[in-house]
Every structure is written in structure tokens, then in C-alpha cells.
Structure 1
Amino acid sequence: MSETRRPTPSLAEETAERLRARVTGGEMLPGERLSEARLAADLEISRNTLREVFRLLTREGILRHEPNRGVFVATPSMASILDIYRVRRLIEIPALTQAWPGHAAVARMRAAVERAAALHDRGDWRGVGSANMEFHLAIVALTDSPRLTGFFAQIIAELRLAFGLLDSPELLHRPYIGRNADILARLEAGDQTGAAELLESYLHQSERAVLEAFARLG
């Protein structure tokens, strides 16, 4: 039987992935207006291709188009934050419960934990947030499902936009450096159920912290 190959992504899809990564890395902030000419030059693509990228990311909720004003990085709503955490529970908790401790993605989790600790020592809280995003992307990679990992990359980019609205990334990210390390330790010890239970508690606390901070924005 011949091996099934995934379709080669188009230039627009590849570029959308690059912009999504910028959002996940905290480089693009909610409410930021995007200059079509500047961004096309920066990405070395045509403006027609960039417009297709804008359409893709607008459908994902990462960008928004305002007639006669242009394209902006989206600003999440409280309803979207609730939905993001609902989806995270449905994907991440089963991913850990069914994980193989020897999976290659566990090394990615370990690298993310170590990177977060190093960035914490330098006071780079945006970097700590990016390492946290990578940790959770690695959890979903444990499923070996390209569809799930692709979908989760969209979800995590939306979540990073919510984080970008908050005044104190340190207060948001500091508690989870140790929690990520604890989840990883349980998984590496073969206690997938314990790791999933820690993650469930983690997600509940994180959701509450984000919603409380979001509510204070008025």
C-alpha cells in the first residue's frame, strides 16, 4: 500500500503559519493595525497573496477586517476566552491521559520547561509566555494527529492575544513555570493520569486568572 502524503501547503498557508507564530510569540498585539504594503515587503510575498493570508487568519479569529479601515489583530472577547479553555480541556487532558512517556514530544516539553526557567531568571516574561505556549503545543503533539496540532496552533494563538491584553505577564506566567515542570515529571514517571489531573487543575486556575484580569479591563 502506498504511503498517504499530506498535501503541500500553499504559499498563503505557509505565510499564515508564520504570522500565527508571531502572534503565539507575542510579537503581534491585539488591536494592532497591519500595514498591507509593509507586511507584504517584510514577508517577501505579493499583496494578493497577503490578502489571501488575511482571509485565512480572519476566518480563524486571529485577525479582523474593518471596512474602510483595514485589517487588525483581533481582540478576544470573554466568550471566546471561555470557549478556548473549553477546547483546551477537550484536547490537552486526553492527550496527556493517553500519552506514551517515551514520545518525542516529551523532549519538546522538557525543552520548553528549561527555556521558561532560563527566561524567568532574565526577567523576560514575554519569552516565558512563548515557552509556555510551546509546552502546551508539545502536549497536543503527543497525539500524533496533524489535524489536532494544526487546529490547536490556531487556538493557542487566540489565547496569546488574550494574554496580550493583560498588564502583568509576570503575574500570569510565574505560577505555571513550576506547574509545567510538575506535569512533565508525572508524565516522565509514567503517571499519565496524575499528569492529566495536574493539567486539569492548572487549566481551571489559568482560566480564572485570565477572566479576572480581563474583567478588570472594563
Structure 2
Amino acid sequence: MTGRAETGIGDLAEDRALLGRTSTAERVADILRARVAEGRLAPGTRLSEDALGGALGVSRNTLREAFRLLTHERLLVHELNRGVFVRVLDADDVADIYRTRGLVECAVVRGLGRPPFALDGLAAAVAAGEGAARADDWDGVSTANIHFHRALVALAGSARTDELMRGVLAELRLALHLVDDPRALHEPFLARNREILDALRAGERGTAERLLARYLDDSRTRVADACARTAGTPPGTRP
């Protein structure tokens, strides 16, 4: 990891205004978490206290507390005498991420009240993904897909569930960084996002849940296989 470029850090000054006069470690953590979730901080990236502190205008103590929070969320890892790095996931991580997603996302759809549902966020994410695909921007498609699932979970109207899934989906983005052909991974799911949206628009929660469960199972298999190929591990050996 030592030789990795510190990408995604140099332009953090643009986020400095978000901190305001009452900057806190939690707000710094929010910014870094968002960078991970957007794919702007790749697995293995070393996080320099000097670079981050200068870009955001915060103290080392504030940064270290933010690092501690994100290490607890499994987004960062501290290596003795080497520094803090964006975490690189393994096959067990991928399996656990999708296990959690299945439990939470399907439960959200199952527990929806009576239609119509507030689907503006889902619709915007679907449109953004389709637009990014037309522009051959597969990182953009990946980001739109993350937004789709965050909007789906937001239908529960639960701040706690939103917070849980914010971390889980940021971890998912770390796994997606290991995929060597993002188009092959993401393209089939563009239409499936729209199918889920259409089912919810029609008030068909059961159909939407079945579509989502199959979606997550297929996505898990594709991501795990892609990560196994990237790591040089035969797919059949993963848990």
C-alpha cells in the first residue's frame, strides 16, 4: 500500500466550507466517508495528516478522531509505523456486506406503508445512472447505484437505518474498486433498478421485494467473483 498515490485529497479544500466555524471530527468523518462512497478515495490510499489538515483547516487531533471513527466503521485501517489507509476488503467482507444489505433493504421494502411512496430520490438515481451509462461514465453509474440504494433505504424514514446503511454502502464502494470491468458489473443492473422503481410506483411491494432479493444475490455473486479474479483467487474457493 505504501506506494499508492494520495488521490482524492488534493481537492478537499473545496469541502472546507462545509466545516464552518464549528468543525468537528464527525463532520470531517462525514466528508471522508462521502469521498469513499463516491469512489474518490480508493482502497489502499494513504491519508496524510499534513495534506488533509491543510486542505480542511483542522487540527491533527480532529483528524485523528475522525480517523478513529472511520476505522471503527471499517473504512480505514491504521498500520503501525506506516500510517492510516483506506481499507482493502476481502471475500469475507463482501459476503457480510451483502448479508447486511439483504436483511435491511428487503425489510425496508416489506415494511413500507400504503402507496403511493415517495420515490423522487429513487427516480433521480435511476435517471442519473442511465445518463452516466450513455456518457460511458461507469464510475458515475456506480455512484448513481449507491444513491439508488440509499434512497431505497430512506423510504423507511429511519435516521438509524440511514446511518447504518451509509456506512455499509461506503464499504461496498471499496469492494467495487476491486472490479476490473465496471461496465460488465453495472450495466445489467441499470434495467433492474428501473424495474424495482416501476414496481414501487405500481404499489407492488411484494414484487419489488422479490426483484430486490434476486438483484442483491446476483450482485453479490458478480462482485465476489470479480474481486476473486482481481485478487488471483479462484472464485470457487471463496466462502
Q: Which category describes the TM-score, using the shorter chain as reference length?
A: over 0.9
Instruction: Kindly report the root-mean-square deviation, in angstroms, between the aligned alpha carbons of the 2 structures.
Output: 1.3
Q: How does 1:133-144 map to 2 (within 5 A)?
A: 133-144=146-157
Q: How does 1:101-116 map to 2 (within 5 A)?
A: 101-104=115-118, 106-116=119-129
- Superposition deviation, residue 172 in structure 1: 1.0
SS in 1 for 2:89: coil
SS in 2 for 1:75: coil
- Superposition deviation, residue 102 in structure 1: 3.4
SS in 1 for 2:223: helix
CA distance in 1 between counterparts of 2:84 and 2:151 reads: 31
CA distance in 2 between counterparts of 1:109 and 1:93 reads: 15
1:203 corresponds to 2:189: no
1:193 corresponds to 2:203: no
Q: Deviations over 1:71-123 (max 9, x none)?
A: 0000011101100000001100011122244343x110000000111111111
TM-score of the pair, normalised by structure 1: 0.93
Pairs aligned (count): 209
- Superposition deviation, residue 10 in structure 1: 7.2
Structure 1 counterpart of 2:165: 152
Unmatched tracts of structure 2, length 5 or more: 1-21, 233-239
Q: Deviations over 1:140-159 (max 9, x none)?
A: 11111111110100000110
Structure 2 counterpart of 1:94: 107
- Superposition deviation, residue 59 in structure 1: 0.7
Structure 2 counterpart of 1:12: 25
Structure 2 counterpart of 1:51: 64
Structure 2 counterpart of 1:125: 138
CA distance in 1 between counterparts of 2:117 and 2:196 reads: 15
Structure 2 counterpart of 1:21: 34
Deviates more, 1:91-100 or 1:78-87: 91-100
CA distance in 2 between counterparts of 1:22 and 1:108 reads: 20
Structure having greater relative contact order (Cα 8 Å, sep ≥ 6): 1
- Superposition deviation, residue 171 in structure 1: 0.9
Q: Report the residue type matching 2:31 in the other structure.
A: R
SS in 1 for 2:65: helix
CA distance in 2 between counterparts of 1:216 and 1:123 reads: 23
CA distance in 2 between counterparts of 1:171 and 1:36 reads: 37
CA distance in 1 between counterparts of 2:126 and 2:181 reads: 20
Structure 1 counterpart of 2:13: none
CA distance in 1 between counterparts of 2:56 and 2:187 reads: 33
- Superposition deviation, residue 12 in structure 1: 1.0
CA distance in 1 between counterparts of 2:213 and 2:175 reads: 20
Which residue of 79, 84, 108 maps to 2:92? Answer: 79
Structure 2 counterpart of 1:5: none
Q: Deviations over 1:166-201 (max 9, x none)?
A: 111111111111100000000010001100100000
